[in-house]
Amino acid sequence: MSVIHILEAELELTGPGAVAAPETTTVGSVLRPDLPLARDGWGNPYLPSTSLTGSLRQHASKDRRRDLFGDVFKDTDNSDKNGREQTTAIASTIRVLGTRLALPEPPVMRRRHTAIDRHRAAAKAPTLHDRELLPPGTGLTCWLRIDTETTECPLVDEVIELLGAWRPRIGGGRTTGYGRAELFTVRHRVIDLSTRDGLRHWLTVGGPQVVDDQATVVYDRAQQAGGAPDEPYLFGRPLEFRIADALHIGSGTFAERAGRQTGVAQVLRDHEDTPLVPGSTWKGILRARVEFILRSVGIGNVCTSVKDGVAGSCGACVVCEVFGWTEHPGTTTHDDRERTKSVGARGRLLFADSPIRKGSVKVRNHVAIDRVFGGARDEALYAEETVEDGHLALHIRHDGAVPNVLHAALVLALGDLADGAIGVGRGTTRGYGTLAAQPATRDWLAAERATAVNTLRAHRAAAIPAPAHAIEEVPA
Ligand SMILES: [Zn+2]
């Protein structure tokens, strides 16, 4: 081991992202977010290098993971005298030395989330939670070390190639558009300890300065035309909508004027101050609608993923499989035998944030009606910002196979969205949140509809040999 290779990879978050640290939440605090960022000992946001290593390991081909990143496994060739398999651990060839964040201003943003009540089709009361996120544009540098015998080593070239094709995804919330990052540059510093210069450099320089001006740039995004490709679109294209009436997706904050709160509830905006529909909203309303459609036609025995008291997502139906599921803390019983071993699974569909283009933001006033005197009730005036027009694109990507039946249900759910049968954001029963499809998307939805209905029909006929009249019913 006389040659040390240091690779310095520079990444940038292209969307909000974070590694959450729920263990740091203090009990009973309303001022702190429910899902705070992981922080270092000085209180600065921090991305653990394990998060990056996991993403990179996942990107490597299966048969190379053990050689590059090590492994812990049950060894079948190596059993002890009682015939039991021994656990073998192989150390990782690549050592991840650490990460540094370059934070823009303001360094931390907050997002609120809630769950959809499947009966009222509106936000469910006790499920509001907020999480801290790093804003898009956050820079991230990460250092890898590989020790070899010689300066020229195919292993190092393999790692550089692996980095070049890597699509870094960091932290939680991947399926709602969080944690997307892009690799900008990789610099390679070879330190040959058998030479005088190399040894002096290694012994006298520490920290990030180890990668000095003698390093060579082995990857540069500017020369690679766009970097690693994104995950493929589920429908081969983004879907275009326009806002048919006012839309309000709250940020949970109030507008300020001259340093004072005005009491006007603000809409959620991205880091460029553009109003947006977050990926989590798309995922929530489409999941609820897909469940509704599949339950209505009686396919797949799908669960209601939000339910009072006991059950949550079942983890067994086709919706859980594609949208992901979690083991809710409230779902386990005191009896340990009934506890499932799994902690849930990530979904295969990825929903991105949709900024609203050319939307104008207005303030609307509302007041409650006094039920006795019939007029406006005193002190019940409130105001909220709404996006009155504009258009937006819905990006649904996938990184795993999506069954036909779910593909079909999703087409019908999107059709319902375009028809205004379901709305987005707040106040959908008061005429808020209706979207209309742009011409190209409308034509595409119309063309896909017949196939989708036929798929569900065929699936149902194959699953249940029901009487003929029961198969005729397909939801609008
Ligand atoms: Zn389920």
**If you measure from the C-alpha of residue 237 to the centroid of ligand 1, how many angstroms do you get, rounded to a whole number?**
27
**If you measure from the C-alpha of residue 265 to the centroid of ligand 1, how many angstroms do you get, rounded to a whole number?**
35
pLDDT reported for residue 345: 80
Paired with 379 in beta bridges are none
**If you measure from the C-alpha of residue 331 to the centroid of ligand 1, how many angstroms do you get, rounded to a whole number?**
13
Query: Residue 106: is the preceding peptide bond cis (ω within 30°)?
Result: yes
Tokens 């991205």, residue located: 270
pLDDT reported for residue 393: 93
Q: Which of 387, 389, 386, 390 is nearest to 364 (CA)?
A: 386
pLDDT reported for residue 310: 45
pLDDT reported for residue 356: 92
**If you measure from the C-alpha of residue 316 to the centroid of ligand 1, how many angstroms do you get, rounded to a whole number?**
5
pLDDT of residue 319 exceeding 80, the answer is yes
Q: Which of 2, 398, 392 is nearest to 198 (CA)?
A: 2
Report phi then psi at 164, rounded to 5: -65, -35
Report phi then psi at 256, rounded to 5: -115, 145
Which of residues 58 and 467 earns the better pLDDT score? 58
Strand arrangement, sheet containing 139-148: 95-102, 139-148, 3-13, 181-192, 216-220
Within 10 angstroms of residue 214's Cβ, the number of other Cβ atoms is 12
**If you measure from the C-alpha of residue 266 to the centroid of ligand 1, how many angstroms do you get, rounded to a whole number?**
34
Least confident range of 34-38, 74-78, 144-148, 426-430 = 74-78
**If you measure from the C-alpha of residue 15 to the centroid of ligand 1, how many angstroms do you get, rounded to a whole number?**
29
CA–CA distances in Å: residue 180 to residues 140, 228, 240, 277: 12, 12, 22, 17
**If you measure from the C-alpha of residue 123 to the centroid of ligand 1, how many angstroms do you get, rounded to a whole number?**
20
Instruction: Output the average pLDDT for the chain.
Output: 81
315 in Cβ contact with 325 (< 8 Å):
yes
Q: What is the percent of the chain where pLDDT is above 90?
A: 20
User: 336 falls in which pLDDT band (50, 70, 90)?
Assistant: very low
**If you measure from the C-alpha of residue 312 to the centroid of ligand 1, how many angstroms do you get, rounded to a whole number?**
8
Residue-wise pLDDT tens digits, 369-425: 888 888 888 877 888 888 988 999 999 999 888 999 999 999 999 999 999 888 888
pLDDT of residue 281 exceeding 70, the answer is yes
**If you measure from the C-alpha of residue 213 to the centroid of ligand 1, how many angstroms do you get, rounded to a whole number?**
54
**If you measure from the C-alpha of residue 201 to the centroid of ligand 1, how many angstroms do you get, rounded to a whole number?**
57
Angle at the Cα of 312 from the Cα atoms of 307 and 313, rounded to 5 degrees: 125
Least confident range of 6-20, 300-314, 418-432, 462-476 = 462-476
98 in Cβ contact with 110 (< 8 Å):
no
pLDDT of residue 332 exceeding 50, the answer is no
Give counts: helices (H), strands (E), the chain. Answer: 9, 24
pLDDT reported for residue 443: 94
pLDDT of residue 118 exceeding 80, the answer is no
**If you measure from the C-alpha of residue 320 to the centroid of ligand 1, how many angstroms do you get, rounded to a whole number?**
4
Q: Which two tokens stand for residue 391?
A: 């258009």
**If you measure from the C-alpha of residue 462 to the centroid of ligand 1, how many angstroms do you get, rounded to a whole number?**
21
pLDDT reported for residue 472: 54
**If you measure from the C-alpha of residue 306 to the centroid of ligand 1, how many angstroms do you get, rounded to a whole number?**
10
Average pLDDT over residues 113-117: 70
Least confident range of 55-59, 105-109, 120-124, 216-220 = 120-124
Q: 458-474 in b/e burial notation, b at 16+ Cβ within 10 A?
A: ebbeeeeeeeeeebeee
**If you measure from the C-alpha of residue 283 to the centroid of ligand 1, how many angstroms do you get, rounded to a whole number?**
15
Residue-wise pLDDT tens digits, 1-37: 589 999 999 998 888 887 777 665 555 555 566 777 8
Measure the CA–CA gap between 189 and 201, rounded to whole angstroms.
11
**If you measure from the C-alpha of residue 177 to the centroid of ligand 1, how many angstroms do you get, rounded to a whole number?**
22
**If you measure from the C-alpha of residue 473 to the centroid of ligand 1, how many angstroms do you get, rounded to a whole number?**
23
Measure the CA–CA gap between 140 and 200, rounded to whole angstroms.
28
Q: Could you tell me the sign of the dihedral formed by the alpha carbons of 403, 406, 412, 413, in that order?
A: negative
Q: Which two tokens stand for residue 281?
A: 């909203």
Measure the CA–CA gap between 40 and 128, rounded to whole angstroms.
27
pLDDT reported for residue 333: 41
Which of residues 195 and 221 earns the better pLDDT score? 195
Measure the CA–CA gap between 391 and 242, rounded to whole angstroms.
4
pLDDT reported for residue 225: 61
pLDDT reported for residue 309: 45
pLDDT of residue 329 exceeding 50, the answer is no
113 in Cβ contact with 122 (< 8 Å):
no
pLDDT reported for residue 152: 83
